[in-house]
Amino acid sequence: MPSVVRVGVLGCASIALRRVLPAMTEAEGVELTAVASRDPDKAREVARRFGCETAGGYDDLLDRADIDAVYIPLPTGLHAEWTGRALTAGKHVLSEKPLTCDHATALDLVDQARKAGLWLMENYMFLHHGQHRKVRDLVAGGRIGEPRVFSASFGIPPLDPADVRYRPDLGGGALLDVGVYPIRAASYFLGDDLDVVGSVLRLHPDRGVDVAGHALLCTPSGVTAELSFGFEHAYRSRYALWGDQGRLTLDRAFTPPPAWQPVIRVESQDRAEELTLPADHQFRNILESFARSILQGADYTAQAEAITRQARLVDRVRSAAVRVTA
């Protein structure tokens, strides 16, 4: 049995260079083998920096016999196309989120992966940080009583005007870039039966993409999720769980750096407590989880359901939205 998964990288996006490739050099069970880029000079520079080989282009990388899996950090609108090509080439896939721009395509790709016996995973790296398991344990232990409301917000400052996230043809927009994080977190804490009650998307007057939004989700029992997102905001990355006996909040929820020590604040009627947790490395953790799943032949059912459920919720947020141009 192989002891490592040999990974090729399709593209040299900022998230790959800043976070994921450095983590690949540290992760157990992962071997960074080759990188491809539309710019050969950039591919060579990245390969030198991370000690791997270059491939002539994306298709050349997929043709390599020494690649078991690919990581795809391309613009959102290209994830589905290259995921499908990678699966056809017999490669496992870790794609940056979101995997697709719509639910129907997510269903097709999950079915393709399942039939081929390949592992397909979205890079919601924050789910692999220990702070969220601790939060879930505290809630399960009754620290806030019965949950009534989950609220989350993820916003970042305005982007460079040339940023691909302002391009509708490449899957741009705040919903697909930052809005998917609060939506995925709501499912993580409130379960699989969430549905969308309503939403608002604020559209840029010239660029043709949404730059901010808010969504209200609800479980069958009436627990609500209030989610806000955008990329024309002061930075905010936070969620809270409000129960009938207390409230719990967490800052830096979605993008904590590896050295960050999270602080969970728990408040009740007559006391407040802050719990400081050890630092954790969510980028390395998700890479090791991806590799273990492949090497151990893990059951793909839960991962497939998570991908398609998330895509459905994103579709519902989009279709239910009141659109405001401002």
User: Going from the N-terminus, what domains does the chain have, and what CATH number goes with each?
Assistant: 5-123 (3.40.50.720), 129-280+313-325 (3.30.360.10)
Q: Which residues are catalytic?
A: 97
The total number of residues shown for the chain amounts to 326
Q: Give the residue from 233, 280, 275 showing the smallest Cα distance to 255.
A: 280
- In a structure prediction context, what are the per-residue pLDDT tens digits for the chain, which is 326 residues long? 789 999 999 999 999 999 999 999 999 999 999 999 999 999 999 999 999 999 989 999 999 999 999 999 999 999 999 999 999 999 999 999 999 999 999 999 999 999 999 999 999 999 999 999 999 999 999 999 999 999 999 999 999 999 999 999 999 999 999 999 999 999 999 999 999 999 999 999 999 999 999 999 999 999 999 999 999 999 999 999 999 999 999 999 999 999 999 999 999 989 999 999 999 999 999 999 999 999 999 999 999 999 999 999 999 999 999 999 98
Note the pTM of the prediction, 2 decimals.
0.97
* CA gap 317, 225 in Å, rounded: 12
* Tokens describing residue 19: 């976070």
**In the chain, alpha helices (H):** 14-15, 21-24, 40-50, 58-63, 76-88, 103-116, 130-140, 174, 180-190, 282-295, 301-320
